[in-house]
Amino acid sequence: MSESGGLTIAVPRGALFDGTVELLGALGIDTEELRANDRKLLFEDIGVITMRPTDVPTYVEAGAADLGVTGKDVLLEQTAQHPGESGREVYELLDLGYGRCTMVLASKAGPDPAQEALRRLGVMRVATKYPRIAARHLEQTGRQGEIVEVKGSVELAPLTGIVEAIVDLTATGTTLRENNLVIREEILDVTARLIANPVSHKLKAARIDEFAGRLRALPVPGG
The residue-averaged pLDDT of 44-48 equals: 86
Range name among 87-91, 155-159, 162-166, 181-185 with the lowest pLDDT average:
87-91
Alpha carbon of residue 207 to chain centroid? 25
Model pLDDT, residue 1: 45
- Do 17 and 93 lie in a common domain? yes
Domain extent, residue 59, equals 9-100+191-216
- Do 110 and 168 lie in a common domain? yes
Q: Judge whether 148 and 163 are in contact, CB under 8 Å.
A: yes
pTM score, whole prediction? 0.91
CATH number assigned to the domain comprising residue 133: 3.40.190.10
d(CA 37, CA 214): 26
Please report whether residue 205 resides in a domain.
yes
Q: Judge whether 97 and 218 are in contact, CB under 8 Å.
A: no
The sign of the dihedral angle between the CA atoms of 142, 144, 150, 155 is: negative
Q: Judge whether 122 and 204 are in contact, CB under 8 Å.
A: no
